[in-house]
Amino acid sequence: MKTRKLGNSGLDVSALGLGCMGMSYGYGPAHDKQEMIKLIHAAVEKGVTFFDTAEAYGPYTNEELLGEALAPFREQVVIATKFGFKFNSEGGQAGMDSRPEHIRAVAEAALSRLKTDVIDLFYQHRVDPNVPIEDVAGAVKDLIREGKVKHFGLSEAGAQTIRQAHAVQPVAALQSEYSLWWREPEQEIIPTLEELGIGFVPFSPLGKGFLTGAINENTKFDRTDFRNIVPRFTEENRKANQKLVDLLGEIAKQKEATPAQVALAWLLAQKPWIVPIPGTTKLHRLEENLGAVEVSLSAEDVNEIDSAFAAIPVQGARYPEHLQKRVGR
């Protein structure tokens, strides 16, 4: 497995990481724990060193899963987790909370769940409008000074927030959605990250599964699947957006690859400090995704893909309005 550095932080990780949320949360019922441990072990064996979780995934159960699965390999891997939400007694989200005392409490609890003495990368999950970002960065700076955290990250933050945070404690990485069908980060975020030497970790690099070609207008999602409330995933929009997947399939045939591999290779070709974290619960998908590292796209290939995709407008918003309000702050 090839490796990449996340910006100027010196954080060295596999060129593709593994997003673990879907193993416990978000895309239907939680999967069998022992099966997911086997999958995580397979990822380690195949050279993946970068694993992404959050206290919100479950909540808590996904961190516990990673803690158990990665304990035998702790020195070989980089674990990223997140803070920034509070939860009610039923485990549902009850708003945001990035107060310094809460950040510290979350870090202590995450260390226990992850069975480790240090968090490699600690992201603010979403920007909290009620807490100055300087206070957030200062709280993580204290945790870094104490040796409980190695690197500070932000998720779905806007350019101004990134700058303000970075001035207090260098931001190692920004995690935000970025893929062939969500390219907004190219406008302001990617230039900001490049200027400041911050790595970029795209989540949903396969469009929440849509770019793999495994979803169509007839697909039925589990009632607990997050995609049920995403405008882009209405039956009508899935039908309209199928043109994108068909196009990706044609390009993939030319490259003797799969649509997912081309979508990931396209991201890897954008910048050397971009590290996508596709999620999966299936071994064959893990193997397919990791094969993207061997798919080489020239600058000409990338331009052709860009031109072809630019001719097909994506239908539907990427988030319902109440969730969109939380991003880009």
Q: Is 139 helix (H, G, I), strand (E, B) or coil?
A: helix
Structure tokens at 195: 């200027």
Q: Catalytic: 57?
A: yes
Residue with tokens 């993580």: 140
Distance CA 297, CA 304 (A): 10
Count CA atoms closer than 13 A to 105's CA, side-chain side.
Answer: 9
Residue of 27, 57, 60, 123 marked active site: 57
User: Within 10 Å of residue 253's Cβ, how many Cβ atoms?
Assistant: 12
Distance CA 250, CA 260 (A): 12
Q: What is the residue-wise DSSP string for 26-79? A: SBSSPPPHHHHHHHHHHHHHTT--EEE--TTTTTTHHHHHHHHHHGGGGGG-EE
Please name which of 113, 105, 56 lies closest in space to residue 79, comparing C-alpha atoms.
113
Structure tokens at 158: 């806007």
Please name which of 248, 242, 257 lies closest in space to residue 293, comparing C-alpha atoms.
257
Sheet holding 199-203, edge to edge: 18-19, 50-52, 78-83, 119-124, 149-155, 171-177, 199-203
Instruction: List residues with catalytic annotation.
Output: 57
